[in-house]
Protein backbone atom coordinates (compact mmCIF):
# COMPACT_ATOMS: atom_id res chain seq x y z
CA UNK A 1 0.00 0.00 0.00
CA UNK A 2 0.94 3.66 -0.15
CA UNK A 3 2.92 5.83 2.25
CA UNK A 4 0.76 8.89 2.95
CA UNK A 5 1.48 12.12 4.84
CA UNK A 6 -1.54 13.63 6.62
CA UNK A 7 -1.46 17.17 7.96
CA UNK A 8 -2.38 17.76 11.61
CA UNK A 9 -5.10 17.71 12.99
CA UNK A 10 -6.71 15.05 10.76
CA UNK A 11 -6.21 12.04 13.04
CA UNK A 12 -9.54 10.60 11.87
CA UNK A 13 -8.35 10.64 8.25
CA UNK A 14 -5.11 8.95 9.36
CA UNK A 15 -7.08 6.19 11.08
CA UNK A 16 -9.39 5.68 8.07
CA UNK A 17 -6.41 5.40 5.68
CA UNK A 18 -4.60 2.99 8.01
CA UNK A 19 -7.74 0.82 8.04
CA UNK A 20 -7.35 0.65 4.23
CA UNK A 21 -3.81 -0.69 4.73
CA UNK A 22 -1.78 2.47 4.08
CA UNK A 23 1.20 3.65 6.11
CA UNK A 24 0.33 7.10 7.41
CA UNK A 25 2.55 9.78 8.96
CA UNK A 26 1.18 12.94 10.59
CA UNK A 27 2.94 16.27 9.99
CA UNK A 28 2.66 19.97 10.83
CA UNK A 29 2.63 22.62 8.12
CA UNK A 30 6.08 23.86 9.22
CA UNK A 31 7.77 20.51 8.67
CA UNK A 32 9.54 19.41 5.53
CA UNK A 33 7.77 16.29 4.35
CA UNK A 34 9.46 13.99 1.83
CA UNK A 35 9.44 10.37 0.82
CA UNK A 36 5.67 9.89 0.63
CA UNK A 37 3.48 8.73 -2.25
CA UNK A 38 0.72 11.23 -1.50
CA UNK A 39 -0.35 13.83 1.05
CA UNK A 40 -3.57 15.06 2.63
CA UNK A 41 -3.52 18.77 3.53
CA UNK A 42 -5.97 21.35 4.90
CA UNK A 43 -5.93 23.40 1.71
CA UNK A 44 -3.69 23.96 -1.28
CA UNK A 45 -2.18 27.43 -1.40
CA UNK A 46 -2.58 28.89 -4.88
CA UNK A 47 0.84 30.55 -4.81
CA UNK A 48 2.87 27.69 -3.35
CA UNK A 49 2.18 24.38 -5.05
CA UNK A 50 5.85 23.33 -4.88
CA UNK A 51 5.70 22.78 -1.12
CA UNK A 52 5.55 18.99 -1.51
CA UNK A 53 7.38 16.60 -3.82
CA UNK A 54 4.31 14.36 -4.17
CA UNK A 55 0.65 14.81 -5.17
CA UNK A 56 -1.74 16.12 -2.51
CA UNK A 57 -5.45 15.96 -1.72
CA UNK A 58 -6.99 19.06 -0.12
CA UNK A 59 -9.40 18.47 2.79
CA UNK A 60 -11.13 21.80 2.11
CA UNK A 61 -14.87 21.08 2.02
CA UNK A 62 -14.41 17.29 2.32
CA UNK A 63 -15.66 14.76 4.84
CA UNK A 64 -13.41 11.96 6.05
CA UNK A 65 -15.06 9.56 3.60
CA UNK A 66 -14.62 12.05 0.73
CA UNK A 67 -10.93 12.44 1.56
CA UNK A 68 -10.30 8.69 1.70
CA UNK A 69 -12.12 8.25 -1.62
CA UNK A 70 -10.08 11.08 -3.20
CA UNK A 71 -6.84 9.50 -1.94
CA UNK A 72 -7.78 6.07 -3.29
CA UNK A 73 -8.75 7.59 -6.67
CA UNK A 74 -5.55 9.62 -6.93
CA UNK A 75 -3.45 6.56 -6.06
CA UNK A 76 -5.18 4.52 -8.78
CA UNK A 77 -4.43 7.24 -11.34
CA UNK A 78 -0.72 7.47 -10.47
pLDDT, tens digit (0-9, with 9 covering 90-100), for 27-51: 997 677 889 999 999 987 755 556 7
Radius of gyration of the chain, Cα coordinates, nearest whole angstrom: 11
Residue 6 CB burial class (10 angstroms; 0-12, 13-18, ≥19): buried
**Which pLDDT score, from 0 to 100, does residue 52 have?**
78
**Which pLDDT score, from 0 to 100, does residue 53 have?**
84
Longest dimension (CA), the chain: 34
Domain ranges of the chain: 3-76
Percent of the chain whose predicted confidence (pLDDT) is above 70 = 91
**Which pLDDT score, from 0 to 100, does residue 2 have?**
95
Q: Note the CATH number of domain 3-76.
A: 3.40.50
Please give the mean pLDDT across all residues of the chain.
90
User: Quick check: 70 pLDDT over 70?
Assistant: yes
Amino acid sequence: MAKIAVEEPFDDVKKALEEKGHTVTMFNTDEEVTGHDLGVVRAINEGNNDEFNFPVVSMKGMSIEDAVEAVEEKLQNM
